[in-house]
Each structure stands twice: as C-alpha cells, then as structure tokens.
Amino acid sequence: MLAACVALGGCASYHPLPLPRRPDLATSLAQLDLSLPRRGARAPAFRVDIAKPLSLDQIGLLAILNNPDLKSAPGEIGVARGRFLQATLLPNPSASFSYGALLGGPGITSAITASLAQDIAALIVHDARVRSARARVYQVDADLLWREWQVAQKARQLAVDLYWGERAIALTRRESELIAGEIAQVRTAIAAGNLTIAALSPLLAAQAAAAQSLAAQQLARLKDWQALDALLGLVPNVRFAIARPVFGPLPPDLDRLAASLPQRRPDLVALRFGYRAAEENVRAAILGQFPAFTLGPAYGSDTSAIVTLGPSFTFALPIFDRNQGRIAETRATRLLLRAQYRARLDAALGTVRALRAQLGQVAADLARARKAAAAARALAATARRAYAEGNLDQRSLTDYETTALRRALQVVALARTRGEDRVFLSVELGLGLPRTRIAPPERMRRS
C-alpha cells in the first residue's frame, strides 16, 4: 500500500484550463507592458517613456513586449522542452508473472514463471534521439527570436510610413487649399465677365487629382495605424505621436556582415539546428535497422519443484521490415532541409545586395529632389513678394506654390522609401539585433 501511494503521488494530476471569454487588447499605451525585464540584479531598469513621441526603436520594443502572436512563445518553448524530456527518458523494462495452481496430477507444488526484460534496440538509438530533440529545442528558440525581430522591424517600418505619410497628407491638403482658392477667384472673374469658363477646366482637373491623392493617402494611413495597433496589441483606434525617423550611417563592412549571416541571423541559425536534428534522425534510422531485441532474466518453477533461472531473449526477425522506409524518409528530409537552407541563404545575400543598390540610388535621387525642392521654395517666395507688389497675378502665384508643394511631396516620398529600405536592410542583416546566445537550460546541456 505504501509503494502504491508513493507511485500515485509522483503522477501528474489534471487541472482544467478554460479558454478566455473576451479579447485582451489594450485601449491605450499606458495599458501595455512598457518595461524590459532586468538582465541582472544590478542592471538598471528600462521603461519606455510614452509621454514623448516614440522613436522607431521604442515602437519596435513595444511590439516585442506586447505582440499577441508572440505571447505563444512560452508555449512553443514548453512543447519543445517537453519533447526533449521525453526523448531523454529510457524505455521502461517489462515484467511478466504467471502462477499455475496445482489442481491434480503427479505434481507436488504450483508452477510460477516470472521474467524481467529490457528493450535493447531502444537503448541503441537513444543518444541519437536525444541529440535530435536537443537540436529541435535550439531550432524553436532561434525561430522565436527571428519572429520577434521581424515583428519589431515590421512595427518600425509602419512607423516610418505613418510619419512620412502624415507629412504627405499635410502637403496634399495645402495643395488642395491653394487650388480651391484659385478656383474661387476664377469663378469670381467668370461671373464678372473677365474670364471664360474654359479657364476653370484645368483647375477642376487639378482639384480632382489632389482630392483623389488625398483620399488614397488617408486610407493608407488608416490601414497602417490599424496594422501597427494590431502588432502592439492595441484596439484599432489608438493613436500616438511618432518621432522623426533617425537612422545612423550604414556599416562600412556590409560585405563582411553579409558573409557572417549564417552565424548571426536567427532564421538561418534555426535552419542549421533543424538540419542538425535531421542528421541525428538519419543516424537513429540507420541504427534502427537493429531488430527489436529484449533481454532480461527469467525465473521458473514447475509442479515438480524444479526451479530454473536464466536469461531470456526475444528479437524480431528482420525479414520484411529493416527500417528501409524510415531511413528513406529521414534522408529525403535531410536533403529537403539542405535545399531550403541554401535557398534561404542565397535569397538573403541577394536581397542584401539589392537593398544596398537601391539605397544608393534613392540617396542620389533624394539629394537631387531636395535641391529641386529648395529651388522651388525660393521661386515661390519670390513669387509671393512679386504678388504683394502687384507684379504677379494670383494664378501664377498659385502655380509657383503648387510646384513647390509637389517638389516637397517628392522629397517626402523618397525619404519614406529610404526609411523603408533601411528597415528592410536591418531585417536582412540583423543590424541592431541583440547578441543573444541561443542555449537551452543548464539541465539540457548536462544531459
């Protein structure tokens, strides 16, 4: 009875875990998790200051801390560690016992047979399966780090679009106001008989184009805000101030960084761990050709009181199944993972080179656009002075000011493109990615 109680006390028990009944979206930034966990007892605490406009890095950090999809990370790690724990456990020995009561005949006692056996084949592949499960834990850890990094960079990219999108909307509204003022003056001149209705046609076309552009920009802004709120775990109508995007200079050793991607980028590291697990699975499948084999002591006594003790062997004859299917499957899986790793690595290096070329082109275009915008602003200022002195008509002044606004819109569009490319390059190269050593708990390393 004592042994039975001890055995039952070591068993897991069931406790229900009900599903949530309502969403868990925050209604303001103040309800989000704003603090980074301390890295040590003496490490200073870091908390995002939401009273000021948020920088790109702060928005990325908030996305990592609060993204709803990333909240499943502990569960995924727990599943991988549970599988690792299961792989480390040795198979239980099997015991058998039989008792034959003597009811008649020449015998003098009852018959007893007992045996204890252990599966030897499972022990042969045990180490390979443990190494495969350990590599799977590493793979899940690296995959989660890559997902966090992507979520953060997606939030930063949306913040870039929202910041420059607001500037574009403001400029387009100003252009619409200028055109509307010009239309009002032309209508007045037409009513007075000083102009024909033909003078109104190009202005109405320009007004329609500006209205269409403004509507598209406002719709894009709404979608970007909704996407950013979703990444941060907020309800879709939360708005906050975004600081001007600031990017440091590009690293001078981009080629060296690109060459080190297999050791630094978490998705490539995860694929390498997955390939390592596949290698161990191939090894385990080859070792699994060893037929099922059990070994253990056997005790027996018959009705004539003759007692025997000796080893017991049980093994399968490898006539039909020699684990060929499992070997073929694991080898094909290994080849597939190898091809996927090569494709991902090639795509990463190609994207890095393409983004570097795009950034060079955008930088040159942005420099020219800024010069053209400065010249257009200077002409508009000169036109305003001439109009004040009576040397220029209203229509010409509106044309100069509209041209200056369109030049400014071109600068905004190029600045937005450059910001997006910088974020994309950060994703591909892992620029700013924390140096995290991907490792399981200490007990896993000792196993």
Domains for the chain: give ranges and CATH numbers: 50-316+334-441 (1.20.1600.10)
The model's confidence at residue 227, banded by pLDDT at 50, 70 and 90, is very high
- Distance (Å, rounded) from C-alpha 215 to C-alpha 278? 52
Residue 228 pLDDT grade (very low, low, confident, very high; cuts 50, 70, 90): very high
pLDDT higher than threshold 90 for residue 108: no
Using the predicted structure, report yes or no on whether residue 158 has a pLDDT greater than 70.
Answer: yes
Residues 351 and 327 sit within 8 Å (Cβ to Cβ) = no
Residue 441 has pLDDT above 50, yes or no: no
Q: How far, CA to CA in Å, does 116 sit from each of 90, 91, 287, 314, 338?
A: 15, 13, 24, 12, 44
The residue ranking higher by pLDDT, 351 or 431, is: 351
How much is the pTM?
0.84
pLDDT at 5: 63
The yes-or-no verdict on residue 40 having pLDDT over 80 is no
- Torsion of Cα atoms, 49 then 51 then 54 then 59, to 10°: 60
pLDDT tens figures, 77-87: 999 999 999 99
Question: Residues, the chain, total?
Answer: 447
Q: What is the mean pLDDT of residues 395-414?
A: 91
Per the structure block, which two tokens stand in for 32? 């989000």
Decide if pLDDT at 143 tops 80: yes
Query: Does the pLDDT value for residue 7 go beyond 70?
Result: no
8 Å CB contact between 117 and 94:
yes
